[in-house]
Amino acid sequence: MSAFPRAIDGEPRRPGVLRLGRRSFDVHQRLVMAIVNRTPDSFFDRGATWDEDAAMERVHTVMKEGADIIDIGGVPAAPGAEVDVVEEIRRTVPFVAAVRDAYPDVVISVDTWRHEVAREVCAVGADLLNDSWGGCDDRLAEVAAEFDAALLCAHAGGLPPRTRPFRVAYEDVMADVLDRTLTLARRAVAAGVDPSRIIIDPAHDFGKNTWHSLEITRRLDEMVATNWPVLVSLSNKDFVGETLDVPIDERLPGTLATTAVCAWLGARVFRAHHVRQTRQALDMVSAIRQEKMPARTVRGLA
């Protein structure tokens, strides 16, 4: 097991409440982050929520299905047509404002690596900056601190945004994940981000091959042991598809199996396309761990 410091300032970190927007979540709450893509070319939904009305209908649906967080993205992760700052703002800011008006208390996340976009979305109500490209813009943490927003610190293996890994290698992938994410967390705290608003993410597939993603899943307890809240983004990822040799539209069973493993090992936030199924998988894990009561228990009692 890798040995990396669990502290920001030399003192061991204790697991604690995660604060997102107006809400606070304890260590036993497992949160579903629903994906809402404001792009015409996202890898899974192929632009299903590109139209704003369709995107808002998606928000209504996932809220009914048990989403705790709405994650809005204006730029696909995969290489493709250039989306500049102005266009990313156009795709995200008005929609963030509309979701905030419709759901005043929901946690709103925006998937961006750009501080210019971060500033605009926070100004209209975003609570969490989902920096899935691992701190490539040093000013993102400054914006999070300015608006008292939460910040996701992810491991992308040092790759620039929207690039795929090519023959990537690590002496110890989890050691690298811990080194980079804990460094980002330290920088965020130094920039003024509230430690209770920081999340770390191993970032499956990002800067990794399938073997790497399987290993970080198997060793996720090492990230959890840092006592920073851990998010996993597993939904329909390529490592699931390659492991099972299935196309994108047949990856839900593999996604849910990986979700259950990560939940058992202590992950707290789960970014997902399939909210209802993810919510049920997490609730089942919580019940097995005696952290949540079954919805009903009549078998053998009546």
Q: What is the pLDDT of residues 209-240, one digit of tens each?
A: 999 999 999 999 999 999 999 999 999 999 99
pLDDT for 4: 41
Strands 23-25 vs 18-20: parallel, antiparallel or unpaired: antiparallel
Positions annotated as catalytic residues are: 237, 271
Name the pLDDT band for 8 (thresholds 50, 70, 90): very low
Q: Is residue 264 part of a domain?
A: yes
Q: What range defines the domain where residue 143 resides?
A: 18-288
Closest residue by Cα to residue 208 from 244, 232, 229, 188: 232
95 pLDDT higher than 70? yes
Q: Is residue 298 part of a domain?
A: no
CATH number at residue 143: 3.20.20.20
Phi and psi (nearest 5°) for 171? Answer: -65, -40
Structure tokens at 43: 């890898």
Q: Is residue 12 part of a domain?
A: no
pLDDT for 12: 57
**In whole numbers, what is the pLDDT of the chain averaged over residues?**
94
pLDDT for 126: 98
Mean pLDDT of 12-28: 90
Of 42-51, 59-68, 162-171, 255-264, where does mean pLDDT reach its minimum?
Answer: 42-51
pLDDT for 177: 98
Mean pLDDT of 117-136: 97
Name the pLDDT band for 302 (thresholds 50, 70, 90): confident
Only one residue has tokens 């996932």, namely: 62
Mean pLDDT of 142-158: 97
Q: Is residue 297 part of a domain?
A: no
Could you give the number of structural domains in the chain? 1
Q: Is residue 302 part of a domain?
A: no
Q: Is residue 173 part of a domain?
A: yes
